[in-house]
Amino acid sequence: MKKTPARPSPAFRMTPQRAELLRALEGNKSHPSAEQLHRRLKKKFPGVSFATVYNTLQSLLAIGELAEVRIDRSRSRFDPCTDGHAHLMCVECGAISDLAVTSPPAAAGAPRGFKVLRCNVEFYGICPACGKKAGAKEKTLCQKKKRK
Ligand SMILES: [Zn+2]
Ligand SMILES: [Zn+2]
C-alpha cells in the first residue's frame, strides 16, 4: 500500500508551496477537493493561486502519487492513497470514506477479448451523523403509518 506522496519522483519540481500541498495531502483521509486544498494552502501562502494548486495536483496524478476520486459528481476529490480501494459517499454531507476491497467484482458478461484495466467500486448512502439527523423525521413517518 502506498502511504503518502512524501517522495515524489525527480520529475516533480519541489517548491515551498508544493511541499506544503504534499503535507496537506499526507495521510489525509478526507478526500479533499482542489478548492479545499487551495483554501488550506492560502493560510500559509496567501498569494498562492488556484492554478498552482490545480497544476500541482495534475503533476502528482501524472506520476501516480495521487489518485483522483470521481465518486462526487460535483467535483474531483483527491486521495493520497492509491491502492485502488473502494469509496463510500454520504449523499447528504458529501463525506467520503475508504473501504478496503477484498475481492473486486468480476467483469462477468464483458465482451470476449475485453481487457479490464481498472474498476471503480462506489457506494452512495447516508453517513451515521446524517442518519442521526434524519432519524427524527423517519420516526414520525413510521408512527403515521402505524396509526393507519
Ligand atoms: Zn453525511
Ligand atoms: Zn480513498
CA gap 61, 124 in Å, rounded: 24
CA of 25 to the centre of ligand 1 (A): 22
CA of 51 to the centre of ligand 2 (A): 24
CB atoms inside a 10 Å sphere around CB 59 = 17
**What Å distances lie between residue 14 and 9, 11, 22, 69, CA to CA?**
10, 9, 10, 24
129: its cell numbers? 451523523
CA of 131 to the centre of ligand 1 (A): 7
pLDDT tens, N- to C-terminus, the chain (148 residues):
444 555 555 567 889 999 999 999 999 999 999 999 999 999 999 999 999 999 999 999 999 999 999 999 999 999 999 888 999 999 999 999 999 887 777 888 999 999 988 788 899 999 999 999 877 566 555 555 554 4
CA of 35 to the centre of ligand 1 (A): 19
Q: Is the pTM of this model over 0.85?
A: no
Give the chain's domains with CATH numbers. Answer: 1-83 (1.10.10.10), 85-148 (3.30.1490)
